[in-house]
Amino acid sequence: DCFRKTEELAHHFEKGIGRELHEQLVAQDNQNKHTSYITGPWFDMYLKSREPVVLNFNAFMSFNPDPKSEYNDQLIRATNMTFSALRFMKTFRAGYLEPEVFHLNPEKSDTQMFKKIIRFVPSSLSWFGAYMVNAYPLDMSQYFRLFNSTRLPKLNKDELYTDEKAKHLLVLRNGNFYVFDVIDRDGNILKPSEIQAHLKYILSNNSPAPAFPLGYLSSENRDTWALLRKHLLDNGNEEALQKVDSAVFCLSLDDFPVKDFVHLSHTMLHGDGANRWYDKSFNLIITKDGTAGINFEHSWGDGVAVLRFQNEVFKDSTKTPAISPQSQPASVDSSRAVQKLDFKLNDALKAGITKAKQKFDDSVEALSLNMIQFHEGGKDLLKQKKLSPDAVAQLAFQMAFFRQYNQTVATYESCSTAAFKHGRTETIRPASIHTKKCSEAFVGELSKHSTEELQKLIAECSKYHGRLTKEAAMGQGFDRHLFGLRYLALSKGIALPDFYQDQAYARLNHNIISTSTLVSPAVQLGGFGPVVSDGFGVGYQVHDDWIGCNVSSYPTRNGKEFLQSIYKSLEDIFNVLKGKKISS
């Protein structure tokens, strides 16, 4: 009944108002060749949201430890990573950063030979050379927001602010704010030994934690924070806030070691609220034992830009570190070079911070993070069986949810559309009739199927998921298109078409399983909060011979059980692929 109604609304939409909106959208896109039709609406979606950025939007990716253990000292690593980050920034601004390229056939195009040749082809023709070998240069327009950038809270809609002239670094420790210049008058990076000296000074500074840590404000509801920010400005903090907002980036130095992967995820995803500035484009977080990670604000950019930055910083800081454990800090007067920011707080501001802390603590208290590592197979075995590793991981999530809750729900997997100018992301929809059929067979009807039949069902899922992934990456998904049409209708003051008011559309966009994957030599794990209160946030990596998965959830869902169920699903899938009989 519901399905018939949705079908009818969809046909109506397709023939009527939907078609008109689509024609307008195409015309608008043709008039704006310099950008993508999704760019404006997508920035708006993020910046108009009034939810706190922490847990709702900010994501984290944690670095692998330095292979040379003595380099994982907090001061050494903070110095080396800061220096490498600044080198990346300078290389990028000078226009020398190698372009990001998506290689469909890496054997042909990801070679020194190709890179040498393509360098000498004029840019008007270089796309053709790349096209010939199936290598697509990716959009890098987000990169400039990595540095000197902050999301400023404003009533109704936030603003992205960037000040590339600022030369200082923001360092947070124990809830206190410090700044010092890392770029000199001539635009050169400060000597590594001087950066080391200043960071050492900050690490040995015994100022007590502030009674009212300002960091909590950046975790508030955006309108609440916008009003409090106005108070801060009116109360004589303009200069100090300007320093925070324009800083090259925020380095957060935590005073405790990391206990385990769960503790690591909590530290990088939200931390204690006092030693972070969640509005900065990113916080580089380094704990007492030298564990490092990045927490990034999501409106300005997507995982691809941050991941490229992390890969380069990891490679540079481990292969050619600026200082070694034997290096001595420069004998400079850090007490003059480093400025501790002091904020003038009145009673209204103190009350605002207290309330923000209470809300932050409650949210974090409600969040569970759990993880598993599956060591019975990975990418190698799946590729050997001609299956898509990503498809198999996603199938395991579907199977797990079906086992736990006996239903199929809206599922979201993000896919970069950086192959397009100003592209952001498109949604892959991993829940399909194929995954449902396969889940039913594995969870409830094992006795009815032979191992061969089960293998065939897995292959069907893989084939279909591969198709969806290709469509999404090539801009042929449906989520952003429908989003763009809806945005256009609202911006033109047209009554929202019935299609968008249907329950099916609401359910499709209530993503109970939200997923994102990355595999990189620099990153050990990444994660984010659930996007709905009754959802799961699933970060996963399919390695050559193992699969890692971490899940965030709130009290209405049991993340630990979901993970056990994912483990069981992976076990069953791999056993079937190995030709073993399995039991329910």
Are 56 and 219 in contact, with CB atoms under 8 Å apart? no
Shortest CA distance to 520 belongs to which of 495, 555, 478, 548?
548
- By CB atoms closer than 10 A (0-12, 13-18, 19+), residue 49 is middle
Name the one residue in this structure whose structure tokens are 């208290």.
365
The answer to whether 298 is a known catalytic residue is yes
Between the alpha carbon of residue 532 and those of residues 52, 194, 206, the distances in Å are 13, 46, 41
Q: Which two tokens stand for residue 379?
A: 């990418």
Q: Encode 558-582: b = buried (16+ Cβ within 10 Å), e = exposed.
A: bbeebbbbbbbbbebbbbbbeeeee
Are 457 and 422 in contact, with CB atoms under 8 Å apart? no
- By CB atoms closer than 10 A (0-12, 13-18, 19+), residue 381 is middle
How many alpha carbons lie under 13 Å from residue 299 in its C-beta half-sphere?
28
Residue count (the chain): 584
Are 268 and 55 in contact, with CB atoms under 8 Å apart? no
93's CB contacts (< 8 A; 6+ apart) are 164
d(CA 280, CA 550): 25
Name the one residue in this structure whose structure tokens are 């969809």.
10
57's CB contacts (< 8 A; 6+ apart) are 46, 49, 51, 297, 298, 299
d(CA 53, CA 42): 16
Find the catalytic residue in 22, 103, 263, 298: 298
Q: What stretches of 90-158 adopt beta strand conformation (E)? A: 101-103, 135-137, 149-152
Rg (CA), the chain: 25
d(CA 533, CA 502): 21
d(CA 127, CA 443): 48
Q: Which two tokens stand for residue 294?
A: 């990045």
- By CB atoms closer than 10 A (0-12, 13-18, 19+), residue 188 is exposed
H-helix or E-strand spanning residue 370: strand 368-374
| Secondary structure (3-state) at 250 | strand
Q: Which two tokens stand for residue 501?
A: 């008011």
Are 170 and 218 in contact, with CB atoms under 8 Å apart? no
Q: Which residues pair with 160 in a beta bridge?
A: 151
Are 255 and 172 in contact, with CB atoms under 8 Å apart? no
Name the one residue in this structure whose structure tokens are 């922490």.
54
Active site residues: 298
